[in-house]
């Protein structure tokens, strides 16, 4: 119910935002004038020319409303302008006859009558227009510049047509709908993450899984429930709902952690191929649940196996893509009794593991390394967050 409400509020908010934005864009000019107090502030200025009965040509400038209508000196020029047409112009030219003449010549809207009487600048404006084939100088040749210009003009005209308007509207709403869909899928819809736990014998895979499932389970219960699980296959476990995602855990419960079997298991697990997959490799320095002694050969062999596996998944294109590989170094509680102590000494714990030859390679290819304790629940929240962060 709460989520449905969220969706409705989200969609409603989206439309309100779009409406406000459209209004703002439509009335931007007026809005700016209102805010700045300068009138006119932004927007297009238009100029048109009109010849009076006394043969005086007047330039009329319009911005939102008429600004002025004044005689303009267009001597020595023949105008080629469309009657009643408003030409869009820059604001800085409108009070200056020389700038108006420049604009007319450059746009090919006027031609010099007597070139001997014209200034050098004006001659250059005109020759520029001839070169660019602006206005009256347009020859219809398929020059690249002109064709691009024409295509652009045609395109703009098309956008203003009815079909163009519908198209704009469709693109606009299409964009809106896909944004909503994306938001909906990402934030609200439950997302599944397939997670596989593997690692050495008695490294604590089952215990970690129980901790993920039941964050408040007591240590006593974890210890009494601990039985070695050896089903010889990949076991699908119960779904764990965490935040707005679903974690689907799988346990690689295979006697011996042979490389080939592990590869197979990771390749095959999960429901669909496209879902996000996370591999958690659990390593501990002892098979025991109470001895703080580092079982060096056991530790080394686990790290070497993990390094080969992780490197394979990160470098081989023929293997299933794994979104994230997390290495969980378990049983830190055996080394430090208190959580603060363990947190302060993570570097020292790592130093011990670093003695294994392949440790460097393992952490190079792993996406995340966590030191923790399944029994105490240390590092488990971090582990869950890491799983979730694949989306
Ligand atoms: N002290 C301590 N003991 C742990 C921890 N995690 C697991 N254990 C103990 O280590 C032993 C093995 O743990 P499991 O969770 O069964 O390990 P596993 O990897 O599933 O082992 P198999 O299924 O036999 O391969 C059990 O006795 C657990 O109680 C931990 O963080 N600290
Ligand atoms: Mg187990």
What is residue 170's predicted lDDT score, i.e. its pLDDT? 83
pLDDT tens sequence across 296-310: 999 999 999 999 999
The phi and psi torsions of 16 (rounded to 5 degrees) equal -60, -45
Q: Give the distance from CA 202 to its chain's centroid.
A: 42
What pLDDT score does 28 carry? 65
pLDDT digits (tens, 9 = 90+) for 7-17: 888 888 888 88
The residue segments making up the domain with residue 211 are: 191-388
pLDDT at 143 over 60: no
Last residue of a domain, one of 120, 154, 189: 189
CA dist list (Å): 14 to 11, 27, 174, 182, 307: 5, 20, 13, 13, 48
Q: How many domains is the chain built from?
A: 4
State whether 181 and 134 are in the same domain.
no
The alpha helices in 133-244, defined as continuous H runs, are: 144-160, 162-183, 205-213, 219-225
- Structure confidence at residue 161 as a pLDDT band (50, 70, 90): confident
Q: What percent of the chain has pLDDT over 90?
A: 39
Maximum Cα–Cα distance across the chain: 112
Rounded to whole angstroms, the Cα distance separating 226 from 290 reads 13
Which residue out of 209, 217, 226 has the highest number of ligand 1 atoms within 8 Å of its CB and is therefore the one to mutate? Answer: 226
Give the mean pLDDT of 76-87. Answer: 83
SS3 content of the chain, % helix, strand, coil (to 5): 50, 20, 35
pLDDT reported for residue 331: 96
**pTM score of the predicted model:** 0.59
pLDDT of residue 203: 92
Which helix or strand (DSSP H or E) is residue 370 part of? strand 368-371
Residue 363 sits in the same domain as residue 316: yes
Pocket test for ligand 1, best of 206, 214, 221, 227 (most atoms within 8 A of CB): 206
Q: Are residues 4 and 144 in the same domain?
A: no
- Point out the least confidently predicted range of 148-152, 303-307, 336-340: 148-152
Q: Count of CB atoms within 10 A of residue 216's CB? A: 6
Write out residues with Cβ below 6 Å of ligand 1. 201-207, 222-223, 226, 228-229, 253, 289, 330-331, 333-334, 373-375
Does residue 186 surpass a pLDDT of 80?
Answer: no
Confidence at residue 110, expressed as pLDDT on a 0 to 100 scale? 92
Q: Which of 213, 220, 293, 374 to mutate to test the pocket of ligand 1 (most atoms within 8 A of CB)?
A: 374
Domain closes at, from 189, 224, 254: 189
In this model, does residue 346 exceed pLDDT 80? yes
Residues 197 and 281 both lie in one domain: yes
CATH number at residue 257: 3.40.50.300
Q: Are 51 and 199 found together in one domain?
A: no
Closest ligand (CA of 203): 1
Are 266 and 279 in contact, with CB atoms under 8 Å apart? yes
Q: Is 131 exposed, middle or buried (0-12, 13-18, 19+ CB in 10 A)?
A: exposed
244 and 266 both lie in a single domain? yes
Ligand 1 atom closest to 282 (CA): 19
At 268-286, the pLDDT tens digits run 887 766 578 999 999 999 9
In the prediction, which pLDDT does 184 show?
A: 74
* ∠ Cα 370 372 376 (to 5°): 155
The verdict on 355 and 208 lying in the same domain is yes
């Amino acid at each position: 119910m709460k989520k449905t409400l969220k969706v409705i509020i989200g969609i409603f908010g989206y439309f309100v935002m779009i409406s406000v934005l459209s209004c703002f864009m439509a009335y931007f000019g007026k809005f700016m004038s209102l805010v700045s107090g300068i009138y006119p502030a932004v927007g297009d200025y238009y100029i048109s020319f009109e010849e009076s009965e006394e043969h005086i040509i007047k330039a009329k400038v319009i911005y939102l409303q008429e600004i002025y209508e004044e005689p303009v000196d267009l001597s020595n020029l023949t105008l080629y302008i469309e009657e009643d047409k408003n030409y869009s112009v820059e604001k800085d030219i409108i009070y200056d006859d020389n700038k108006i003449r420049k604009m007319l010549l450059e746009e090919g809207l006027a031609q010099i009558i007597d070139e001997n009487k014209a200034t050098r600048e004006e001659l250059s404006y005109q020759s520029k227009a001839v070169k660019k084939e602006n206005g009256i100088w347009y020859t219809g040749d398929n020059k690249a510049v002109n064709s691009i210009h024409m295509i652009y003009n045609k395109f703009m005209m098309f956008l203003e047509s009815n079909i163009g308007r519908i198209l704009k509207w469709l693109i606009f709403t299409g964009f809106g709908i896909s944004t909503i869909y994306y938001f909906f899928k990402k934030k609200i819809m439950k997302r599944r993450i397939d997670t596989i736990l593997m690692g050495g014998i008695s490294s604590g895979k089952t215990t970690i899984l129980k901790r993920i499932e039941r964050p408040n389970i007591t240590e006593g219960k974890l210890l009494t429930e601990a039985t070695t699980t050896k089903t010889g296959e990949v076991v699908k476990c119960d779904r764990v709902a965490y935040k707005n995602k679903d974690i689907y855990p799988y346990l690689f419960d295979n006697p011996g952690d042979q490389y080939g079997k592990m590869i197979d298991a990771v390749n095959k697990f999960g429901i669909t191929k496209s879902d996000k997959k996370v591999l958690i490799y659990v390593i501990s320095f002892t098979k025991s649940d109470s001895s703080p002694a580092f079982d060096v050969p056991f530790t080394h062999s686990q790290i070497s196996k993990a390094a080969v596996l992780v490197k394979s998944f990160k470098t081989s294109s023929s293997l299933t893509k794994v979104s994230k590989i997390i290495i969980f170094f378990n049983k830190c509680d055996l080394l430090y009794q208190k959580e603060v102590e363990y947190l302060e000494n993570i570097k020292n714990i790592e130093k011990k593991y670093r003695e294994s030859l392949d440790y460097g390679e393992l952490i190079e290819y792993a996406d995340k390394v966590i030191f923790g304790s399944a029994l105490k629940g240390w590092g488990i929240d971090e582990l869950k967050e890491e799983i979730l962060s694949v989306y």
